[in-house]
Structure 1
Amino acid sequence: MKKVLILYASSTGNTEEIASLLEQHLDTKVLDITSKNLEMTEVDVKELKEYDGILFGTYTYDDGDLPFETDVFNDNLQNVDLNGKVIGLFGSGDTAYFQFCEAVDTMKNEFKCRGSIVIDHVVKVDLFPDEKEELDAIKELGFLFQKALSAHAIQSSS
């Protein structure tokens, strides 16, 4: 059974809702899923090595900034090798800002720098996930994440 961490920062509950919807689209028969909110739980970045895959979500603060808890997490991430970990990214933002969901892109680049297998498809939601396109994008991320975990398992065993 693959170990998966859904880790997110959510100020208003929007990113938390995305995390919850993602979890609903994962197969619990083959995945052991743990969900943590960065604002509620202190996460030691070394814990990430315990998981086969990580779904990471963050909201974007102001005009493209990482929120405080994501920024602290990112600083701690700098010395961690996540080579081979499958990473999927999601987040919420507000299209009223020029740098819509920029924090998601920032974290995508950071995970790539740590040697992770980062899924190209990211989910960016304008405020709350209630549009059909957003819900379809969340479902697609769950599918692609599981597919990447399976493909990585096959490559690792070869």
Structure 2
Amino acid sequence: MSAAMYFNGYANGDVVAEGSFMGNHTFAVQKGLNLGVALFIVRIDPLNPFEIPLLNTIILLSSGATVTYAHHSLIQGNRKGVLLGIILTVILAVIFTGLQGLEYYEAPFTISDGAYGSTFFFATGFHGLHVIIGTLFIAVAFFRILSYHLTDHHHLGFESSILY
């Protein structure tokens, strides 16, 4: 590209450069961009946030409570509480993952439906992957607790899985 196509290190097509440095975002352009965003939002049939998304939020918050219960039980030497807390946490994580799969299946849009679809599936997909990895991490800690590898003073792997 020629030097004329850049302004302060930004390509001429860059929205930041156009609006901030080049002064190309006049009132009429700003109004058009706002209308474009509004039309984009109106044309997508988004998910109802009071259905699966709300349920999954409740499940995630509950799993935080159950894993905290398991951790405190381990510190207090309550083996039964540790096992119950971890089992409940893993069950909640599996339910969350299943509901996210159902949400994907029932979504009225796809990943190829523009910015909304690709952003939705990218963000929720990476979060879902995070939950799956965390579930595996906690499951490993569960088997280590079953095998008496972790104690009230020696459980770094379990703490790491909680922090993850």
Q: What range is the shorter-chain TM-score in?
A: under 0.3
TM-score between the two structures when normalised by the length of structure 1: 0.26
Compare relative contact order (CA 8 Å, sep 6+) and give the higher one, 1 or 2. Answer: 1
Largest Rg, 1 or 2: 2
TM-score between the two structures when normalised by the length of structure 2: 0.25
| Bigger strand share | 1
